[in-house]
Amino acid sequence: MTQPASPYIDRIADIALRLLAYLGWLVFFCWLAVAIPVTRARAADCTGKDLLAEMATSDPAGLEALRREAATIANGKGIFWKIEKPGIAASYLYGTMHLTDPRVLALPAAALDAYTKADTVVIETDEIVDPKAPLRLMAEEPDLMMLPAGSTLERLLPQDQLEAVRAGLAKRGMPLGSVNRMQPWVLTSVLALPACELARKKGGAAFLDLQLAQDALSRGQKLAGLETMKDQLQVMAALPVRFHVGSLVELIALGPRIDDLFETMTILYTRGDTGMIMPLMRSVSREGALDDADYANFEQKLITTRNATMVERAMPIIDRGNAFIAIGALHLPGEKGLIALLQQRNYQVTPQ
């Protein structure tokens, strides 16, 4: 069967795209990019292309199908929402993308006003303002990021993929021997970043959530978190090693398409089209090493379960009034997203 000509189809496996989409919204992921030495940071120019713009020419029918699917996703439009409940000062919910891209850092005027006037600013984890917090966690819980004694990445990788991964890591400035004991998801997290984003982070640029936290503290606002870094690492550690190994293999194969994916995700984010992201991911050819059960398990642990935890921890803060809650935008849409969960708990949540 002839494969479609659309550029986003060619050798991009579904699992790699899903993983990139989710990891792109994890806060700890941003710290990893700075903490692990990678020579790939030398290139500072962003070269990614808008895959949907290309699809408009190469596969307009496919693009229309994606749009129809996105339209069915609850609360899939908008990243800025107002939370109201009788007798309580309104709070606001803002979807973030954990990047340093100037387009992401620029809050809309209404969101900026709500943020600067809030009594409390809430982010996923307030530990990100402490640069020593990740190091303490690594010392206290080394097994969350390192493989068990006697286990190495080289032994876990499929033999027919070993040389490809070795070459791919070397090309990105990470010889296999130097990272052999790391959990494969750690490497996947770092390698997922486009070169321009990695360069900005290593140059000291703050990603959006960190910038919001630092600026809030400088103004004397209260800062709170809905999770800990340990919570976030435990989510990744709870998934099977086989899943993470397969994801690393697929990411290496993805190569320069990473930049295109992040550019497309960023454009969708700035347009407020959060409901379009997952249909795009699902549209990709299923050539990965993992099956639907793996995907479902990943989504359940990384998104759905965390959503339930976040909403329970956010409610007491919302009930005090005048909070600005900034969390990864993929936590907002869907029937089990934060907007729907808050609405189920009798809050009025409306797009702004």
Global pTM reads 0.86
Instruction: Say what the pLDDT of residue 285 is.
Output: 37
Six-digit token pair at 303? 């998104």
Cα–Cα separations (whole angstroms), residue 115 to 111, 230, 271: 6, 27, 20
Q: Is the pLDDT of residue 15 over 60?
A: no
Q: Is the pLDDT of residue 2 over 60?
A: no
Report the alpha-carbon distance of residue 82 to residue 348 in Å, rounded.
Answer: 8
- What are the backbone dihedrals phi and psi of residue 76, each rounded to the nearest 5 degrees, phi first? -90, 5
With cut-offs at 50, 70 and 90, classify the pLDDT of residue 25: very low
CA atoms within 13 A on the CB side of 163: 1
What average pLDDT does this structure show over 327-338?
93
Report the alpha-carbon distance of residue 192 to residue 265 in Å, rounded.
Answer: 13
What average pLDDT does this structure show over 116-133?
93
277 against 23, higher pLDDT: 277
Q: Of 29, 332, 3, which is closest to residue 192 (Cα–Cα)?
A: 29
What average pLDDT does this structure show over 183-193?
81
What average pLDDT does this structure show over 39-48?
62
With cut-offs at 50, 70 and 90, classify the pLDDT of residue 35: low
111 against 245, higher pLDDT: 111
b/e burial code for range 221-260 (CB count within 10 A of at least 16 → b): bebbbbbbbbbbbebbbebebebbbbbbbbbbbbeebbbb
Q: Mean of the per-residue pLDDT values for the chain?
A: 83
- Asked which of 229-233, 245-249, 339-343 is least confident by mean pLDDT, the reply is 245-249
> Which residue is listed with tokens 């990243």?
79
Instruction: Say what the pLDDT of residue 7 is.
Output: 40
Q: Of 265, 301, 337, which is closest to residue 76 (Cα–Cα)?
A: 337
What average pLDDT does this structure show over 187-198?
80
What average pLDDT does this structure show over 102-118?
97
User: Could you report the per-residue pLDDT of 284-323, keeping only the tens digit for each?
Assistant: 434 555 556 766 777 788 888 999 999 999 999 999 999 9
Residue 120 bridge partners (DSSP): 222, 323
Report the alpha-carbon distance of residue 227 to residue 326 in Å, rounded.
Answer: 12
Q: Of 23, 41, 15, 21, which is closest to residue 187 (Cα–Cα)?
A: 23
Instruction: Say what the pLDDT of residue 277 is.
Output: 82
92 in Cβ contact with 83 (< 8 Å): yes
End-to-end CA distance of the chain: 46
% of the chain exceeding 90 in pLDDT: 41
Report the alpha-carbon distance of residue 112 to residue 185 in Å, rounded.
Answer: 34
Report the alpha-carbon distance of residue 212 to residue 116 in Å, rounded.
Answer: 10
